[in-house]
């Protein structure tokens, strides 16, 4: 295992996961549970399992599909999601210019 790859992946995932819905759900469950260790172990196992699935599928897909097509598909997917979010949420009334 290359240490540089390990650090790069760790920092990327750590920063990406800060404040996401999984962390907020974990905070909420931990706040109402009297078993913080069980919440920690359950959420940790779920993240490890999701990562394992991603690594296994990523390795398999990379053998079948050229990397450029995977990157292009991801880029297009994120652009579609971003455009959908931008177009489906009208601006707040307080953000609009007022004629008062």
Write out pLDDT tens, residues 19-30. Answer: 888 888 888 898
pTM over 0.95: no
Q: Which is nearest to 25 in space by CA: 39, 5, 14, 12?
A: 39
Name the burial class of residue 70, with classes exposed (0-12), middle (13-18) and buried (19+) by CB atoms within 10 angstroms of its CB: middle
Asked if residue 33 has pLDDT above 80, the reply is: yes
Asked if residue 17 has pLDDT above 60, the reply is: yes
Asked if residue 100 has pLDDT above 80, the reply is: no
Write out pLDDT tens, residues 74-92. Answer: 899 999 988 988 888 666 6
């Amino acid at each position: 295992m290359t240490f540089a790859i390990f650090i790069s992946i760790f920092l990327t995932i750590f920063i990406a996961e800060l404040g996401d819905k999984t962390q907020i759900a974990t905070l909420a469950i931990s706040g109402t549970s009297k078993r913080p260790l069980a919440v920690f172990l359950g959420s940790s196992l779920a993240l490890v399992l999701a990562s394992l699935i991603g690594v296994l599928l990523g390795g398999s897909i990379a053998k079948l599909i050229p990397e450029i097509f995977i990157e292009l598909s991801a880029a297009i997917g994120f652009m579609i999601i971003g455009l959908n979010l931008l177009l489906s949420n009208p601006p707040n009334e307080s953000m609009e210019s007022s004629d008062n």
